[in-house]
Amino acid sequence: MIYIFSSKNTAALKRAPALDKKNNWVEILPLKPRQMPAECKKIRHGDQVYIDISGLSPAELKKVVGQLKKGSAFWGIIDPKGAAEDPASYFFNGAFDYISPALIKSGLTKKRFTAALSWAMEGDDPDSGIEAASSPERENINTSLKLPAGKFEGWKSIRSGTSASFFYLYLSVSGRSNSNLRPLIGENAYNIVKGRLRDVLQQVLWEADALLWIETEGSSLFLIPPRTANIRLAVEAILKMLLNSRLIGIEKLGLSIPVDFTFALHYGQTIYHAPGKTGAIVSEPVNFIFHLGTKRAETGRLTISDNVPEEAIPEGLQNLFARAGSFEGIPIRHSRRFVYE
């Protein structure tokens, strides 16, 4: 059963196709400040619970989400007014679905809700509009490799010319259907966008101590310290960028067309040189990450090699990744692709 809790029983929900009194698979209930949805006696394990956030204050919303995290039902967010500044934050708190104003207007069908549940339970419905990984395998990514303990001491602590291990993060940006941005927006605009994207990346990866190491005409390569805390912060930031790519393209990059990001992540040892002094690096890991990013990684996803240790993925997010075969002899995984309406 699907339960939608709304403090206002909004007109937007009433107008949404399929949410009427003629069906027996969804019920809209009042959201009372003193009674959290998780306390509703109707809810059973496996039910889907949605919260209409349009009538909630930040404090009320925080309390509701905290209660839902403790329950056993699958829960999601309905945002009729597009009020959420960061929809990705709900997923990182345990939500399995986010319903935008555009989706409400286009139609909330039973098939759409079923697809979201299949996504949460690792199913796959190719016609649903939500893509889930097919037949995901549960074995660990890399349990044999352990990252160094302790806090990263900073990039100045690494002597140029010495060999060290790093995470390599590849990024490229493209227009819809993986089209090249440069001919779409022109040379001058492309150079401006490239500079803005550099600023965005350095901002969102700042907490991870990521270092912009190499830039090419169409991509960027960051080094991330070989520490659990650093790489987990980076992975979270990447997934949030994928979820918010449409907003980033408009608000941060100043584009009027939708953009997609392609990320790839690898781990290995190479000779370190400061940015701008890398020259023609001869390094197997560096060659591999560029090959992985340009030849195998997919738009809208984070692709990781099995050289990346298991502890690099934040707890609770392992299920966002599924096997995707191998590339140049190394098994790889893709993150789920978030589909936009």
Per-residue pLDDT, 238? 94
CA torsion sign, 279 to 282 to 286 to 289? positive
Per-residue pLDDT, 247? 87
Per-residue pLDDT, 123? 39
Domain 2-120 has what CATH class? alpha beta
Per-residue pLDDT, 7? 73
Domain ranges of the chain: 2-120, 155-335
**Strand locations in 176-272 (E):** 211-215, 220-224, 259-271
Here the contacts of 187-192 (C-beta below 8 Å, separation 24 or greater) are 192/254
Per-residue pLDDT, 133? 37
Q: Which residues contact 303 (CB under 8 A, 6 or more apart)?
A: 263, 264, 265, 292, 293, 296, 297, 324, 332, 333, 334, 335
- 104, 12 Cβ separation under 8 angstroms: yes
Q: Collect the ranges in the chain with pLDDT lower than 70.
A: 8-24, 32-46, 70-73, 88, 92, 118-145, 176-179, 279-282, 339-341
In 3D space, the residue among 306, 301, 296 whose CA is nearest the CA of residue 266 turns out to be 306
Per-residue pLDDT, 232? 94
| CATH topology assigned to domain 155-335 | Alpha-Beta Plaits (3.30.70)
pLDDT tens readout for residues 202-245: 999 999 999 999 888 788 999 999 999 999 999 999 999 998 88
Per-residue pLDDT, 303? 95
Per-residue pLDDT, 19? 56
